[in-house]
Amino acid sequence: MTDFDDIQGDQSWEFSPYGQIQEDICTHHDKSMFWDSGTGFRSFTTGEMIVQYGYMLQFEIVVGCDRHVNACNPYPPIRLEYNKNPHSDQWSLLQPLCLPDHNTLMECQPSYYHAPSVYTPEGFPSWTLITMELKDKVFSGNTRFRWKQDASEVDGTMWALNHIYVGEKCPDMCNGRGICKDGICHCLSGHGGSCQPIKFGMLRKMRETFEGRIYPRNWESITGGGIGFGCGALLPYAHGKTLYFNGCGLREARTAEMDLSRALKIMFVLQIGCKQQTVSCNVNVRAESYRGILLQYSTNKGAEWKLLARHDPSHYLNPKRAMYDLPADAKVVGVQIRWWQPVHDGVGHDQWAIDSVEIIPDHNSYSSMLQRRKRRIA
């Protein structure tokens, strides 16, 4: 575990060009490894370590620190890589991009699609806890990990790291809501002793039409989009404003944590591009890489995302209503749902919009609960 609070004599890391240990970085009051904005090859490399079955990696990262950053600028991202040969300078991404058309990649599991281990200002503007199970491709007696920002040609944004842990998994990897240290979960503020979500105040249902502003009660983050009319009203299934995506970089709508233990379905209206292929609403349906929208859910604060449905552009050139039964493992406390477009060509390309998002409660479940309460009272 590398906390940077007592780094004297620490042999768990090798070098960190341009990095410095500082306090009070982006509202973090303890010490962090910090790189200010600027140029150069900036990195943090761990020492050699044993990595084997049952190990996890966890760290906190921030890129940009909520400063206004234009996602269309070519800021060099931070790449998380690994190396198993101390005599070689060949490094590989720890986690690749896994999409529906990447079935040939052995490490891409069906139904678990995710971005690569690459961190950008628009995706990680504030401190974010990253938790991942380590796969057998990194198992060895001399594995190293490296966070790298190659800003040799253009300025890089500031970034910082903290609470780096590589070792045996804590129980349930702390459910993505706690920091693993010496086999014990230290839960983040607002979570119980087992790092489980606290359902008090959580949404149990939702009906979002985007006619007003975007409400934080409903949404944890909306990136690369906002309320707009770029694809028009999604008639005849929805009317008025939509949540429209036309940004550079990450395009994602992520709900707040919800209590879906008595929910039944999710329903929404979606359009991807349009048949007229207008400037503000078009999509490359013949692109080799997947341009569709993935509907996913997570029960551990985004540590893992499981597929609920995929939406291919050729099927959504006109607005369509989509409705899905929630699977049993999504009917729990602390679920988040996201709409994610993994690949696009930037502003002016591959736009999409959603509207009339609803989480529909299971009224039979409520009736059964009331009957049980009545029997207990009687």
Give residue-wise pLDDT tens across range 192-237.
667 988 888 899 999 999 998 899 999 999 999 999 999 999 999 9
How far is it, in rounded angstroms, from Cα 38 to Cα 18? Answer: 9
CA 75 to chain centre: 19
pLDDT band with cut points at 50, 70 and 90 for residue 191: confident
pLDDT band with cut points at 50, 70 and 90 for residue 70: confident
- What is the pLDDT, as a whole number, of residue 8? 41
pLDDT band with cut points at 50, 70 and 90 for residue 371: low
pLDDT band with cut points at 50, 70 and 90 for residue 332: very high
**Which tens digits make up the pLDDT trace of 23-50?**
999 988 889 999 999 999 999 999 999 9
Is residue 353 scored above 50 in pLDDT? yes
pLDDT band with cut points at 50, 70 and 90 for residue 163: very high
Q: Which is nearest to 163 in space by CA: 180, 145, 182?
A: 180
**Domain ranges within the chain, ordered by starting residue:** 13-187, 206-364
How far is it, in rounded angstroms, from Cα 119 to Cα 81? Answer: 12
Beta carbons of 193 and 219 less than 8 angstroms apart: no
- What is the pLDDT, as a whole number, of residue 89? 92
How many alpha carbons fall within 13 Å on the CB side of residue 321?
12
- Are the folds of 13-187 and 206-364 the same? yes
Residue-averaged pLDDT of the chain: 91
pLDDT band with cut points at 50, 70 and 90 for residue 9: very low
CATH number of 206-364: 2.60.120.260
Beta carbons of 302 and 220 less than 8 angstroms apart: no
Is residue 140 scored above 90 in pLDDT? yes
Tell the CATH topology of 13-187: Jelly Rolls (2.60.120)
Averaged pLDDT for residues 86-105 = 87
- What is the pLDDT, as a whole number, of residue 375? 58
Beta carbons of 252 and 341 less than 8 angstroms apart: yes
**Which tens digits make up the pLDDT trace of 302-315?**
999 999 999 999 99
